[in-house]
Structure formats: C-alpha cells, structure tokens
Structure 1
Amino acid sequence: MLKKIESRQLQLGMFIQSFEGSWLSHPFWKTKFLLRDPADLEAIRKSGVETCWIDVAKGLDVVGRAAAAEPEAVAPAPAAPPVVAPASKLKSSADVEPKASMGSELQRAAGVINRSRQQVVALFGEARLGRSVNSEQCMTLVEGIADSVSRNPSALISLARLKTKDDYTYMHSVAVCALMVSLARHLNLDEELVREAGFAGLLHDIGKMAMPMEVLNKAGSLTDAEYKVMQSHPVRGHELLSGGGLAMPGALDVCLHHHEKMDGSGYPHKLPGEQISLLARMGAVCDVYDAITSTRPYKNAWDPAGSIQRMAQWKGHFDPAVFQAFVKSVGIYPVGSLVRLQSGRLAVVAEQHPTSLVTPRLKVFFSTKSQMPIPLETLDLAQPGCNDRILGRESPSQWGFQNLDELWQ
C-alpha cells in the first residue's frame, strides 16, 4: 500500500517506493529501497526533493508503526528510468577489505578459473547450437567467482587477465564476471545485485556465439562488413537469452547495452547516458578494461596501468562515477603494472592496499641507474618507515620486459 508524504516526514524504517519529480533531483541511483542509513535520510532532506511515495506494507508508516489497512494509492510513473545518478551523487566505497592475502588466494583462484573455463566452454558451446542457457549452472559459476573475489579481488581478476588469444572468448566472460562483482561491491550494491552483476558479466557476450567463427577469430583487422556483423552480437545475445526464458532483467540489459556510451555514440541503440542502466554502465567499463588488457587474435595486450590511463581520457565513453569506483576496485596501478620508484628502481605491482591506491606491495627487480637487474625484493609501500614511493607507470614494451607477470604470481 502506497502513501505520498513530505520528505521531512521520512524516518528510518520506511520503504521508499519512488521520489517525486525527475530522478536527477534525488541523490540515489535506486528508487525502491528500505531507508536504514541515517546518512541516506540526511541526503534526502538536503536534496530539495519535497515529496515521495512510501510503501507502508514493507516498512513503517508516518507515525512510526506498522502500516494500518488503508486504501491503496497508485504512485505516478517515474519521470525517467531508475538509472544511475550523476557522478557527484553516486555513493562508492574503497574499503572493500580482502579476507585473504594475495599469495594465499592465488592458488584457490587458479582452481576457480580452470573450473570456470571448462564450464563456460560447455555453456557457450550449447548456446552456439541454439540451446537455452542453464541459469542454475551459470549462477553456480558466479557464486564460485564471487567467493574468490570476496576473499581477495586482485587474485582472480589478475589471473583471468592472463588468458591466451585462443581462450579469449571464454575467459573474457569469466574475467568480466569477476570485475563486475568487484565493482558492484565498491558501489555498495546489496549482495543480490552483486550476484546479478556477476551473472550479467558472465553472459554479456553470449551473442558472439551467433557470430561466424571466421569473423570472431580473425587474426587481422575486420572489414567494414565484418565489423557490422560483429556489432550485431548484443542484439543476437539478447534474443538468445530472452528466447531461452532467462528471467533476469539485469543480465538481459547488460547483454544488449554494454556497448552503449554516455555521449550516445555507442550501439546498438545509441542511448544517451540518462537512458543507460547502472549495470550496463558497469558492464561497459569492465568489458573494455578486460578487452584491452588481454591478448587478442589481432592485437597484443596493453599493460594494466596504461589501460586505466587511456580509459580515463576517453571522454563521453564511461560514466565518471562508475569509472572512478572501477579504478578503486582494480587500482590506479593494477596488479602486474610496471612502475618507476623515487629511488630509481623499477618494480611490478604484486598486491593492492585495501584502502590506499598509491601504496601497493611491489616486487622490485631493476635499477634504472645501472640499467641492470637487481636481486628481487618485496617492498610494501604502506609499511611505516618505507621511504620510497611510486613516481609513475612505465611501459613494459619500451623496456623490453616480456615476462613481468611471472614476478607477481
């Protein structure tokens, strides 16, 4: 049962159904939630939103008691879809503390990746044959990936980046699933949405199973005609999932819209930012990051830190708030990045600090002064008494380093 009240009457324990006016005027990307956080209540009162609708069957009434039987009201339709709010209003958190060290989780994450690869190959093979996706099997996969990410996000995400070009189509889905889970937690989404984000990441490219193999695995650049064929994969994927009875709107939406851009230049529908859902905005960032940091049939991988730097410069492509949260989830210098230290040494990032983007744990291995390798040293920039610091990223290709990933594993 819905009731329209003034925002000043709101109190903790009420269930907010919708806000009056445009979604741009209120401080949340969501429109239906139980009001439990005093900070959320204060944000609403400061937002200038004068009235809202509450569901007194799901929360407290205006007098602070369970709802009494009243005639049911009908709330007006929202002025726009409940998509993510502007960058300045989206809440995010960098305090996603790992429960296990990088070293202790790497072996477990490797097992999760190997099992996931086998299952994704089988799932996608079924999809190529026109058969429905097994939602229960997919969710079991997502649970295993999400559990590893919960223990230590960097471990599985970093290992999944090391896919071969032959494995790309399958392992890209595993990697995007993990990235979506990590990003969702940095955006403070509830665990149900975290799992839905992971599910969406796992299936976002299912439409590529409807693409001709000679185009999907082409080693060189695509022709204009071939590129147009590849651009149809979001629509084909959406058709495959919806035709198979998939009842998860978020996954369907990400599948269809993960190539949309904030400036409206994306595909397939050229949606402007205010019409792109939160999960699709997240999918756009995660999809691109894993794509450019992976070896593909037609290109070599970009280094992780360089990829973050380039993505930050693509104006109009990503939602700024979502991208900012993504950087917090993987780091300014993600695991595997080559960095130059104030001491003149070069190091590879081996593990992120849970709350500081600029003080990761490093493996130092090279001196720029002597231009020679030095004994491998582990350096934790967050430790008291550490006098070194990162000056910036370096390009592994310019230094001729080929096997940096062996250092952090």
Structure 2
Amino acid sequence: MLKRIPVKHLKPGMFIHELCGSWMEHPFWRSSFLLDDPADIRRIVECGIHEVWIDTARGADVLEHPEEAVAKAESDAAVERQLQRAAATAITPRVAMREELARAAQICARSKAAVVSMFNEARMGRAIHAAEALPLVDEISQSVARNPGALISLARLKTADDYTYMHSVAVCALMIALARQLGLPEEHWRQAGLAGLLHDIGKAAIPLEVLNKPGKLTDAEFEIIKSHPVRGHQMLCEAGGADDVALDVCLHHHEKTDGSGYPHHLKADEISLFAKMGAVCDVYDAITSNRPYKAGWDPAESIRRMAEWSKGHFDETVFQAFVRSVGIYPVGSLVRLESGRLAVVIEQGAKSLLKPKLRVFYSTRADAHLKPEVLDLARPGCTERIVGTEDPARWHFKHLDRFWQTD
C-alpha cells in the first residue's frame, strides 16, 4: 500500500516509492529505493523534501502518528479538487495549433542558437549582454500570444545535449504565458520572458562533468549545482543590462514558500511574484524533459504531482494560474477515455480545460492500435470524457509526440 508521510517519520527499513519533489532538487539518482542507510534520511531532510511516498508492501510501515499518513486515494482526491478549481477558465488561442507549429519551430531554432552563444560567452568569462536577447523574447511572446501550446510543447522536446539551452527557451515561454494568465501589464510580459531566458545562466559556471553527470550526485556535487543561482546573479550584475526582475528570478527561482528553498531560504511574501513564477515554470519544464538519467514525466502527470507538492513549495495563486496557462492536460499528455481508448492531447479546448482536443490511437480493450482520429471533447454531442492519465512507458509507447506534431 502506498502512503504519503512526512519525512520526520522516516525510518530505516522503509521502502521509498517516490520523493515528493522534482528530481532536480535532490541528489538522489533514483527516487525508489530501500532506505537502509540512516545518512540518506538526513540527506532527504537537508535537500528540502517534506514528504515521501512509502510502499508498505515492500518495506516497513509508519508506526508513529499513523494519522499523519495519507493514502493514495485520499491524495488523488485532494489533487483532483485542486485541479478542478483551475478548470473554470479556458484557454483561447488566437490561431490553431497546426498554424503556429511551423513558426514556433523556427523561433525555437533561433532561440537555441542564441542561448548556446550566450552560455558559451559566459563560460569564457565574457560579459552577457541581456538587452540583445529582447528581440528574441518579443518573438517568443508573439508566438505565445498566437497559441501558447505550440512553442511550449516544442521546447519540451529536448535531447540530453541541448537540455540546458532549450530549458531556458521553454521557461521563457512559460513565464510569458503565465504573466498573461495572471493579468499582468503587457510590459511585464517582456520582463518575465527575459527573466526566464536568463534564469539558469549560472549553470555556465558549473563544470560540465557535474552538470551533465548521468548518475547519483555526491553531497559536494549537489552543493556545486545549488550554487548556480548565486553565480548567475553575480554574472548578470557584473555585466549590467539585466533589469531587477531578471536579477531577482535568477537568484531566487529555487526558493520555496515554506522557506526550505535556496539560496536564502525566503518564505511566502519574502519571495517576489516573478520569482514565484520562475519556481513553477522551472520545475514543470525540468520534470517533463528527458535527462540522461531519467525520462521526463507525462505533462498531465507532472501537473498532478506538482499539485500534490504545491503546499509549501509553490504559491497557490501562481500555481493555479500556471495550470490555466498550460492546461490540466497539456499538449502531449497521454489520457484514457471512458470508452477504454487512449489518446494524446493535441490542443486545449476553447471552452473547458477538461475538454481538450485529442488524437485517439489505441484500444485498451482490444489491446491494439487504431487508425488515429481527432476527437474534440468540447464538440456538441460528444459523449466521451477523460477518466485518467496514463504512463506511456507502461504501454511501451515511444514517439508519442508525433501525434500532436502532425495534422
């Protein structure tokens, strides 16, 4: 049986099913393991993880304060209620996904080249000219205004070699979409986008053998990784040209509302709105992207896990707006329909976040592929509905992204 428990109740002999948090924020290579080393309990606490899922069928149960343990069904119901609150506002793109994909692909390519150049300059100790990135931010902003799903979804498709660069592009686009959803003034969209593009520039100062290590990080290596906000902030200050928003997001995008983040352990209102936005956007893109040591999570599953962690990790208002900006079922999500068919989300619905446009391609009842067909859940008379998300790995599906990239 799976139970979510506070880390203060961890004991040797428990089987950790999952750590409640992004794998980018802890030094453990795997999130499922038998807890047989007391030092690992200390490491879990020190890296800011508050809760974990334990599997009582594979290890010890929680004995002290069992009332603080949360069963899987109870947790899922709470997450569902939280996401339902975000479903009231639909996404209304100006152009269809298929119309924006080609333009977004060109913008992604130009953006990647610009960010690669920026990081190379930083690695060589040269000044970063933040203002030179503003025309690129404007292009990304225009694409997001036409259809946020296109560029955001394309930027999620990264190789191990270009992760750091495309992550900056993706967070830029996510920050712009979130700023729009929050109703911020238009001049703040550009500030949010530039902050997203520059937020990880400090990783240019991290040795590549640590940054791209495919296995478990040592405590010392994890501390080196955690130094990137301070290093990036220093780079931007020395170069000049970056505004206060970019400097703030660069330095504070790993802060958490309960004070367990880094580098300054800020709490709640001590964290600026833009830094709270950066925290959500950074984590979402990180956990949905493939890394050398871990496959990215399904986008819809990522939203659900973030909702599960959100108390103490993210600002609730910002997280709710983020869900509305990308969807409860973001583009590329694998979902199960009431009929037993599986489908990939290809575009958000015009009327409800619960009714996106899908491409149906598999029957679980027949255990067979179907001829792909487009299904709009918001279409009048449509009786199908989404009943859950699915893990593509469970079905041995590869290259699911082809379903939303093709017309």
Q: Same fold (TM over 0.5)?
A: yes
Are the equivalent residues in 2 in contact too, given 1:341–1:347 (CA < 8 A)?
yes
Deviations 1:201-226 (A, max 9, x none): 00000000011111111111211000
Report the counterpart of residue 294 of structure 2 in structure 1.
299
**131, 145, 159: which one aligns with 2:140:** 145
Report the counterpart of residue 212 of structure 1 in structure 2.
207
Report the counterpart of residue 192 of structure 1 in structure 2.
187
Does residue 178 (structure 1) correspond to residue 193 (structure 2)? The answer is no
Are the equivalent residues in 1 in contact too, given 2:334–2:392 (CA < 8 A)?
yes
Does residue 269 (structure 1) correspond to residue 264 (structure 2)? The answer is yes
Report the counterpart of residue 47 of structure 2 in structure 1.
none
Paired letter, 2:241: L
Are the equivalent residues in 2 in contact too, given 1:92–1:186 (CA < 8 A)?
no
Are the equivalent residues in 2 in contact too, given 1:93–1:186 (CA < 8 A)?
no
The percentage of counterpart residues that share the same residue type is: 63
Does residue 283 (structure 1) correspond to residue 278 (structure 2)? The answer is yes
Q: How does 1:10-409 map to 2 (within 5 A)?
A: 94=89, 97-314=92-309, 315-409=311-405
**C-alpha distance in 2 between matches for 1:372 and 1:358:** 26
Report the counterpart of residue 66 of structure 2 in structure 1.
none
Deviations 1:277-326 (A, max 9, x none): 00000000000000000011221111101111111111310001100100
Structure 2 CA distance for partners of 1:93 and 1:332, relative to 1, 3 Å: closer
Deviations 1:203-257 (A, max 9, x none): 0000000111111111112110000011110000000001111340000000000
**C-alpha distance in 2 between matches for 1:211 and 1:252:** 18
| TM-score, reference length from structure 1 | 0.76
SS in 2 for 1:366: strand
Structure 2 CA distance for partners of 1:208 and 1:319, relative to 1, 3 Å: same
Are the equivalent residues in 1 in contact too, given 2:230–2:263 (CA < 8 A)?
yes
SS in 2 for 1:357: coil
Report the counterpart of residue 21 of structure 2 in structure 1.
none
Report the counterpart of residue 4 of structure 1 in structure 2.
none
Deviations 1:106-141 (A, max 9, x none): 011000001111111011111111222122321111
| TM-score, reference length from structure 2 | 0.77
Are the equivalent residues in 1 in contact too, given 2:87–2:353 (CA < 8 A)?
no
**C-alpha distance in 2 between matches for 1:96 and 1:336:** 16
Are the equivalent residues in 1 in contact too, given 2:131–2:242 (CA < 8 A)?
no
Aligned pairs, number: 320
Paired letter, 2:167: H
Are the equivalent residues in 1 in contact too, given 2:89–2:353 (CA < 8 A)?
no
Deviations 1:85-104 (A, max 9, x none): xx9xxx99945531110001
SS in 1 for 2:176: helix
**C-alpha distance in 2 between matches for 1:281 and 1:312:** 15
Are the equivalent residues in 2 in contact too, given 1:96–1:186 (CA < 8 A)?
no
**C-alpha distance in 2 between matches for 1:323 and 1:136:** 29
Deviations 1:314-353 (A, max 9, x none): 1310001100100011111111111111111110000011
Are the equivalent residues in 2 in contact too, given 1:177–1:201 (CA < 8 A)?
yes
Are the equivalent residues in 2 in contact too, given 1:303–1:337 (CA < 8 A)?
yes
Paired letter, 1:264: G
Structure 2 CA distance for partners of 1:189 and 1:101, relative to 1, 3 Å: same
Report the counterpart of residue 5 of structure 2 in structure 1.
none
Using the TM superposition, give the Cα deviation of residue 399 of structure 1 relative to its aligned residue in structure 2, in angstroms. 1.2
Paired letter, 1:403: H
Are the equivalent residues in 2 in contact too, given 1:336–1:408 (CA < 8 A)?
yes
Report the counterpart of residue 45 of structure 2 in structure 1.
none
Are the equivalent residues in 2 in contact too, given 1:333–1:357 (CA < 8 A)?
yes
**C-alpha distance in 2 between matches for 1:292 and 1:354:** 27
Are the equivalent residues in 2 in contact too, given 1:94–1:329 (CA < 8 A)?
no
Are the equivalent residues in 1 in contact too, given 2:233–2:251 (CA < 8 A)?
yes
Quick check: which has more Rg, 1 or 2? 1
Greater RCO, CA 8 A, separation 6+: 2
Are the equivalent residues in 1 in contact too, given 2:337–2:388 (CA < 8 A)?
yes
SS in 1 for 2:312: coil
**C-alpha distance in 2 between matches for 1:247 and 1:173:** 16
Are the equivalent residues in 2 in contact too, given 1:93–1:187 (CA < 8 A)?
no
- Runs of 4+ in structure 1 off by over 4 angstroms are none
* Between structures 1 and 2, the one with greater helix share: 2
Using the TM superposition, give the Cα deviation of residue 397 of structure 1 relative to its aligned residue in structure 2, in angstroms. 1.0
**C-alpha distance in 1 between matches for 2:125 and 2:377:** 52
Paired letter, 1:336: G
**C-alpha distance in 2 between matches for 1:354 and 1:386:** 15
**C-alpha distance in 2 between matches for 1:116 and 1:93:** 33
